[in-house]
Amino acid sequence: MILIIGSTFDDVLYFDAKVRNKREEKPFGSVNVFSGDIFSQRVIVAYGASTSYIASAATAYLAAKYSTILVINVGSCFSYNDQMRPGDIAISESIHICDVDQRAVDSRLRIGQIPGMPQYFNVMTYLANLTITTAEKLSLTNVKSATIFSTDTIYKDVEETRHFTSGEYVLGSNKNIVFDSESGGVTVASSLIECPSLSVKVVTSPFKDKVETKDLVNVMKAYARVGKLLIALIGEISRNDTIMSN
């Protein structure tokens, strides 16, 4: 099975309409769950995981219960700079956790690093490349590999991020940078159970600035492009019948 998890029903609306043999599953607390078929692959879809804490718990529980081979986190994100614009699709290349600072416990740790885990999480190279290649085959536009910084704090502007963007923590990651509130929890849980994970996010705005009317159409269209991309990706995985390692 493949687990698709988002924070709102809008995040998974496309899959609700496209899966065959849909069946409502038992919810996990406030997280709603349904399953269905995409190509020859059974998928489990969850929504309501609105923070990294809930996303982590739901991912660990559902991935173990349904013996998943892949976890895909969908939803929205906010851009850090003009490299990512509203309506762009961010494909996770690496995921950094911003809410963690354990340096007082161990000076060898870096900001964002959980003891016993890497400083940040790289997405499986094969999986990231396959996603980009699939987008190219579909002629989908504005699909970009990105560095995701995940934090449960919702920032309003760049100045509020100075406590962790100083030095090289963000500035050293000069590739497309976005922020979200779920990818960190999903990737930690997936790492612990040794299941590959991927985040595919729609850029809605710079941080929490209100989406302008002219950008809103692009954002709505991007959600449909994400759905189309992931269904095609699941088809590729089903044909290969495996997810290769790095």
Give the mean model confidence (pLDDT) for residues 156-168.
Answer: 63
Q: Are strands 197-206 and 41-47 parallel, antiparallel or unpaired?
A: unpaired
Integer-rounded Cα Rg, in Å, for the chain is 17
Q: State yes or no: pLDDT of 162 exceeds 70.
A: no
Q: How far apart are CA 36 and CA 221, in angstroms?
A: 24
Q: How confident is the model at residue 165 (pLDDT cuts 50, 70, 90)?
A: low
Q: Which two tokens stand for residue 90?
A: 């961010």
Is the CB of residue 63 less than 8 Å from the CB of residue 196? Answer: no
Residues 196-207 have pLDDT tens digits of 999 999 998 766
Arithmetic mean of pLDDT, 56-61: 96
Contact 131, 202 (CB under 8 A): no
Q: Which two tokens stand for residue 131?
A: 């996603």
Q: What's the confidence (pLDDT) of residue 246?
A: 45
The tens digit of pLDDT for each residue in 147-156 reads 898 988 777 6
Quick one: pLDDT at residue 153?
78
Nearest to 77 by CA among 189, 232, 169, 199: 199
User: Count of CB atoms within 10 A of residue 237's CB?
Assistant: 21
Cα separation, 95 vs 122, whole angstroms: 6
Angle at 176 between CA 207 and CA 224, to 5 degrees: 70
CB-side neighbour CA atoms (13 Å) of 237: 28
| Residue the block writes with tokens 């790289």 | 122
- What is the percentage of the chain residues whose pLDDT exceeds 70? 86
pTM of the model: 0.90
